Amino acid sequence: MKTIGLLGGMSWESTAEYYRLLNELTRDRLGGLHSARCVLYSVDFADIEHLQAEGRWAEAGEVLAEAGRRLEAAGADLVLICTNTMHKVADRVQDALSVPLLHLADATADAVKGAGLTRVGLLGTAFTMEQEFYRGRLAASGLEVCVPDAEGRALVHRVIYEELCRGVVREESRAAYQAVIQELVAAGAQGIILGCTEIELLIGAGDSPVPVFPTARIHAEAAVEAALPAAPRWSWSSPGCGPPAGRPVATGCG
């Protein structure tokens, strides 16, 4: 098995999920006592969040590029940035590496298209929902992307930073997210991308009337496929993902 490098800590709550998923998926593939070969570099998220808030993305990119170099020096054969938002600096990280960076948006787009969908709602940080580094990459793969209105985007962003990144999961926030999802579905979304890895701590398949696409799980599955190239080809088949049988396909995406 190739060694998977995890560039994590943003936040550590979802990075812990990555570690669990990689090991469970490897065990499912190989059986017995097998677990994933991986190395982790975990940054201090307070430092990264400060750079995000001040728009100092070039500096943030340098921090992650150096972390990526250390992962490669530790033996990583491929690297994952364990957060959607920091894919804003994915090109800078890849430029610092001689091994592949497995891009989260590409893995997510493959999962959505594999489920036969073309129009999706996107939940994430304000950076992910509003800027082109992520939405544009999805669109370039042939997907139409809807995001919540300004009030909805503010709500989703606030819950991520003030609650989920701190390990706080509140039923009131789940209900609020469900209301945002309903609005996206009404606007024509055929599925919902959980485009922040922490959202999976709050929202699951049962919280949406259309399929959800949990990006941390998708990323982990794609990584295990890449690390085990001789294994049967990965396909998106997790419960609750892909179009439910008999569900009509929505049209129009406002």
CA angle (36, 39, 45) in 5-degree steps: 120
How far lies 248's CA from each of 33, 68, 179, in Å?
Answer: 43, 44, 20
Question: CB of 9 within 8 A of CB of 43?
Answer: yes
How far lies 108's CA from each of 54, 135, 139, 227, 252, in Å?
Answer: 28, 11, 12, 18, 21
Q: 193: Cβ–Cβ under 8 A, 6 or more apart, which residues?
A: 108, 112, 120, 121, 122, 123, 124, 138, 145, 212, 213, 215
Catalytic residues: 83, 196
